Amino acid sequence: MGSPWLRKVHAPRQRLSHLTSFERDAQDAVDLMKALGFDKFSLLGWSDGGITAMMAAAKNPDLISRMVVWGSNAFVSQQDLELYEAVRDAWVDGIAQYAKRPEGSICMELLPLISCPTLIIHGEKDPMVPNFHPQYLLKHIKGSQLHLMPEGKHNLHLRYADEFNKLVENFMED
């Protein structure tokens, strides 16, 4: 019959609200790492993956050793909605649902629960994530560090792969 976790992963997913997808993805990632036998692990998350990583780290502090996030945000502002409209697609409809929550919160209330060392990397020319988002994360995630990449955009890990990989490697080795 297999494990309940495998049935869950392989079962067809119902169309769920974007408002629950980050939480579900965070739990699925943690469940996968546990199923693979990891007692502690680090997280790297880009864009929506960073939101998922922050939620996983906040809800599972004993499991997460370190975390690196880039191109991520903890809330949706009016400026974000305007940027999203410029690239309108199905994702925009989903993420815009958060703007209806108090302060546009995606995971703002969870940030103080993150206790692992966290590196926030941000491209200062990111057209999708305004510069106030990494500043907010830095202020609300205890002991976090921020590294700004002046020429970086949303996909800075691809365009500046060597610099990005060295930053992450150094952070993970500390």
- pLDDT-based confidence at residue 31 (cuts at 50, 70, 90): very high
Non-local CB neighbours of 150 within 8 Å, separated by 6+ positions = 124, 125
pLDDT value, residue 90? 79
104-152 pLDDT tens trace: 999 999 999 999 999 999 999 999 999 999 999 999 999 999 999 999 9
Any idea where the domains of the chain sit in the sequence?
16-173
Q: Which pLDDT score, from 0 to 100, does residue 148 have?
A: 98
Position 3 pLDDT exceeds 80: no
pLDDT over 90, % of the chain: 82
Give the pLDDT confidence score for residue 136 in this predicted structure: 98
User: Model's pTM, two decimal places?
Assistant: 0.85
Domain 16-173: state its class.
alpha beta
Q: Which of 81, 82, 136, 99 is nearest to 114 (CA)?
A: 136
- Residues annotated as catalytic are 47, 126, 154
